[in-house]
Amino acid sequence: MTSTFHGIEVGKRALFAQQTALSTTGHNIANINTAGYTRQRANMQATNAISIPGMSSFQLGTGVDVNKIERLREDYLDVQYRTENKNVGYWGAKRDTLSRMEGLMNEPSDNGLAHVMDEFWAGWEELAKDPDSAANRSVVREKGIAVAQTFNYMSNSIDQIQADLKQVIKTKTDEVNSISRQISSLNDQISRLVANNYEPNDLYDQRDLLIDQLSKIVNVKVTQNGNGMVDIVVASQALVSGNKANELEVGFDKKGDAEYVSQVTINGKSIDLDSGELLGRIESFGKLDGTEVVGTIPNIKKNLDLFAAAFADQVNKVHSEGMYIKNNDGKIEMVSAANIKFFTGSNAKDLAVSSDIKGSLDMIAAAKKEGTTEGSSSGNGKNAQAIANIKSDGSISINGTTSTLKDFYRNMVGQLGIDSQEAQRMQGNSEVIVKQVENRRHSISDVSLDEEMANMIKYQQAYNAAARMVTAMDQCLDKVINGMGRVGL
């Protein structure tokens, strides 16, 4: 036989269950704009029935209880999101560096190296027409200085970009370690609560948001540990193991003047990153491949240095074959420029117009030798024209490829553009996939105000009905307790 107060107990359980559901709905509404929040649902189930013996034995329900407050989240969507998010980070890092290099090259434009060199060749052509003109000689010298300064500026700017990138790599390394420490701390808090049969859903959300952020920087593999904790592995090494976080470190070294990333370690053990923003930054900065430093910036800097050296060598070679003006006590003579260089320096950083040319415009070898003796040669512009012809006729061999100076630089800039377009395209493709997965996650996990308002009304009505039931049972008990047995009094 059931207790006299059975109906009160059923009503009480209904009140508590609907109140919990209302509170959960309110929590969802309050966090509609919270980053990483996953909507929650109060799962209700009927409590254990009690058996009523009699002529027809049956079980009588005892009400309802909230057995779990559940996060509405799909784990496989998290895996898909993090798998693609690393590609967004990788190609985004590559695109960022390539875009900066494109901005530095600034081609085609009136301020780019190609335009400055065209003006340099044009100066020689004008000098060939009037080799005795001091104005034309001054233009050639100034245009040469402009070319050298442009090479210097580009080389120094590349060094600055690389220095900035080194700082970004250090910042991203610190960010990885900061996130891993936060995840390990959350693991510790979660394990303490789960051990006492609590569901720390909000802590789960905070941890998942951190893992999403981490997945863009490095490729992560997440596995479940005991008591609600997770382990995170990066390149076969444990970055987070339960409530312990290991340090990721990036080492730098130099080979000659070229700086590069020497190694990446976790807890002192060397790893090979396979994707993510950090790898994209490292590949842009430079790493050692055998005995050679390779990467986006080292490759461009190397080609620029080779181009500057080949350009200077070509000009100096032809210049040394000409004749310059020598004023010997008022007597003008033409002297061989075999030992006179127009440019000095062996790379883009230290390229400069020689002190001889800067010291005297007469040292510019615009003439070719005519006759059998140097002194009998008359002024002409044949050597100036020969230098001007280097633009289209000069042949250089760089990296095993023979081409003109103009074609080499054009190919260098063109390859930079192709690499930049590929990085943009790959980043765009990855972002599309990530967006698709993210939209699916939002459709499942995001808070909908319309849905929550409908739930609020539903739970409110159920709560009111349960309260009315308690009132009705109270009236019944009042009649039993205070009204029965009083007949005749």
| Secondary structure (3-state) at 351 | coil
Residue range 180-210, pLDDT digits in tens: 999 999 999 999 999 998 999 999 999 999 9
pTM of this structure: 0.87
Q: In the structure, what pLDDT confidence band is assigned to residue 140 with cuts at 50, 70 and 90? A: very high
For residue 397, the surrounding DSSP H or E stretch is strand 395-398
pLDDT at residue 176 above 90?
Answer: yes
Please give the Cα distance from 248 to 250 (Å, whole number): 7
Residue range 442-465, pLDDT digits in tens: 999 999 999 999 999 999 999 999
Residue range 389-434, pLDDT digits in tens: 988 776 777 776 777 888 888 888 999 999 999 999 999 999 999 9
CA angle 44, 50, 56 (to 5 degrees): 125
> Average pLDDT in the 145-160 region?
95
> Average pLDDT in the 128-137 region?
90
Please give the Cα distance from 109 to 103 (Å, whole number): 11
Neighbours of 450 (CB within 10 A): 7
Q: What value does the mean pLDDT of the chain take?
A: 90
Residue range 213-235, pLDDT digits in tens: 999 999 999 999 888 999 999 99
pLDDT at residue 252 above 60?
Answer: yes
Of 311, 351, 356, which Cα lies nearest the Cα of 338?
Answer: 356
User: What pLDDT, on the 0 to 100 scale, is given for residue 376?
Assistant: 43
User: What pLDDT, on the 0 to 100 scale, is given for residue 335?
Assistant: 85
With b meaning 16 or more CB within 10 Å and e meaning fewer, what string describes 106-133? ebeeeebbbebbeebbebbbbbbeebee
| Secondary structure (3-state) at 346 | coil
Residue range 349-398, pLDDT digits in tens: 999 999 999 999 989 999 987 655 454 445 688 999 999 998 877 677 77
Residue range 58-86, pLDDT digits in tens: 788 889 999 999 999 999 999 999 999 99
Of 91, 94, 89, 42, which Cα lies nearest the Cα of 65?
Answer: 42
Residue range 335-349, pLDDT digits in tens: 888 889 999 998 999
Residue bearing the bigger pLDDT, 155 or 369: 155
pLDDT at residue 437 above 90?
Answer: yes
- The answer to whether the beta carbons of residues 62 and 50 sit under 8 Å apart is yes
Structure tokens at 327: 């004023």
Of 20, 7, 15, which Cα lies nearest the Cα of 66?
Answer: 20
Please give the Cα distance from 171 to 169 (Å, whole number): 5
User: What pLDDT, on the 0 to 100 scale, is given for residue 54?
Assistant: 67
Please give the Cα distance from 447 to 457 (Å, whole number): 16
